């Protein structure tokens, strides 16, 4: 037997109020997975933005790497901190730690969708699959964090657009 609407809302509000609580799961009406190859930069920025932008929205969020996770890039942590998003406690996760059936929306942040074949194909078969093809700042930045900042802002815009789309779907 599933949770009632009131129980779902209570679980979601507790999770939003407690930063150590699960950021996704059955306490949310929709769950979004942000993917990159290593879950070290772009998908982490998207995860952080969505957590900040969702406020009271019942949208859960997680991020993972198609290949085993590494560590979150210092440049991503630094430029997100500039806008009040703390990634310092985020960890790099592997996609193998998650089940595609638990997510409604999957976003490839780095055009990694082509790597979702064979046993990973189910990740592309969610309710909504998007491929944002964001530039990899760790490869392009000249050392002044300018590319990190540009990608941070592009990611914020895309997260805001996605959140608006999801909230519209939830209201219909």
Active site residues: 36, 110
Residue 26 structure tokens: 């059955």
Residue 89, CA atoms < 13 Å, CB-side half-sphere: 5
State the pairing for strand pair 105-108/128-131: parallel
Residue 49 structure tokens: 């933005």
Residue with tokens 């991020």: 63
């Amino acid at each position: 037997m599933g949770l009632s609407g009131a129980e779902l809302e209570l679980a979601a509000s507790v999770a939003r109020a407690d930063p150590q609580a699960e950021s996704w799961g059955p306490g949310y009406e929709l769950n979004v997975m942000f993917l990159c190859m290593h879950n070290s930069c772009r998908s982490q920025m998207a995860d952080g933005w969505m957590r900040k932008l969702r406020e009271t929205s019942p949208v859960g969020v997680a991020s993972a790497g198609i290949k085993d996770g590494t560590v979150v890039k210092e440049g991503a942590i630094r430029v997100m901190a500039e806008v009040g998003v703390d990634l310092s406690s985020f960890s790099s996760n592997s996609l193998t730690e998650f089940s595609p059936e638990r997510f409604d929306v999957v976003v490839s942040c780095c055009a990694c969708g082509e790597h979702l074949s064979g046993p990973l194909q189910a990740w592309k078969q969610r309710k909504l699959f998007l491929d944002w093809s964001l530039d990899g700042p760790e490869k392009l930045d000249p050392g002044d964090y300018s590319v990190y900042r540009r990608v941070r802002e592009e990611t914020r815009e895309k997260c805001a657009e996605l959140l608006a789309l999801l909230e519209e779907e939830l209201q219909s």
